[in-house]
Amino acid sequence: MPLLNVADIRLPVDKYQLDGRCRSKYPIRQLLMRPEDIPEIRTLDLFQNMSDDTFKVLVRGAYVQNFPPQIDLVEEGDPADFLHIVVGGCVELYANWNGRDTTMAMVRPISTFILAATIKDGPYLMSARTVEKSRVVLLPSNDVRTAFEQDGVFARSVVNELANCYRSVVKNTKNLKLRTSLERLANYISRSQIRAGSLEFDLMMDKRRLASFLGMTPENLSRAIKALRPYGVMVDGARVTITNLEDLNQLARPDPLIDDFSV
């Protein structure tokens, strides 16, 4: 198994503090939830069926903030004070151990992250940082737990969301344990192709992060990309062009029980 990204990004930017005294050099753009932000998250699966009363409890104490790129939002091990919802930009979840680190997931709008820690009132298992300029809604974990206790509909939505998360991570584990790095890349591209609905699309993250996400080094990702050329995959910068989808899929052998995030 690879020792991943020992030299991964570790930027000299202070962790963003939410206690009012912001240690970042960037000002807090906004602390209170604007009315126009509300419908944005109300339509999330997680919130759309809950009662108005409970939803009010949730948004009453909510923050919305704009963060610049490369800001640490949470650090693994910290108590889960907020449920985070990415409503704009992109947030990377990563983890580290013993000086090594690895990208666990990329969170794009509109999604929550680390719901489980909030519910369990446990420590975060992953760190999170913005990749680009991002807009994040922060719901105090206490309020989420209160809402969850008093609103059965919300509780059921949480169950559904958690079940989805669980199944995603299981699929990811299968991906990691059953496939070589080349196969993981091929499937990542195959999935991206399906999501894009086109034979031409952009990689959703820079290559260094993609490598880490796929469990390989950046150097090896470069080589793997070259190795996909005979299978009809052309990559120029972030731009991917599929010239032979059959060949790609014959190598990738996508499996709904690993690659289909809707089941």
Partner DNA sequence: CGAAAAGCATGACATAGATCAAGTAGGTGT
Partner DNA sequence: ACACCTACTTGATCTATGTCATGCTTTTCG
Binding site for DNA (CB under 7 A): 1-4, 6, 9, 180-182, 206-208, 215-223, 225-226, 235, 238
| Closer residue to DNA (CB): 158 or 186 | 186
- Residue 122 partner contact from DNA, a second copy, none using kind-dependent CB cut-offs of 5 to 8 Å: a second copy
Residues 6+ apart with CB under 8 A from 177: none
Q: Side chain identity at 2, as an amino acid letter?
A: P
Closest Cα to residue 130, out of 2, 26, 239, 3?
26
Is 64 or 235 the residue whose CB approaches DNA more closely?
A: 235
CB nearer to a second copy: give 176 or 199: 176
Q: 162 and 224 in contact (C-beta within 8 Å)?
A: no
Q: Show the tokens assigned to 242.
A: 């599929």
Of 134, 181, 190, 217, the residue at the interface with a second copy (CB under 8 A) is 181
Q: How far is the CB of 218 from DNA (least distance, A)?
A: 5
- Among 122, 199, 229, 239, indicate the residue that binds a second copy (CB under 8 A): 122
The Cα–Cα gap between 130 and 171 comes to: 25
State yes or no: residue 76 binds a second copy (CB under 8 A): yes
Helices (H), 126-217: 141-150, 152-178, 181-196, 207-214
When CB distances are held under 5 to 8 angstroms depending on the partner's kind, the choice from a second copy, DNA, none that residue 65 binds is: none
CB 84 within 8 A of CB 140: no
SS3 assignment, position 235? strand
By the criterion CB under 8 A, which residues form the site for a second copy? 1-4, 76-77, 95-98, 100-102, 104, 115-117, 119-120, 122-123, 125-126, 148-149, 152, 155-156, 158-160, 162-167, 169-174, 176-181, 184, 215, 253, 255, 257-258, 263
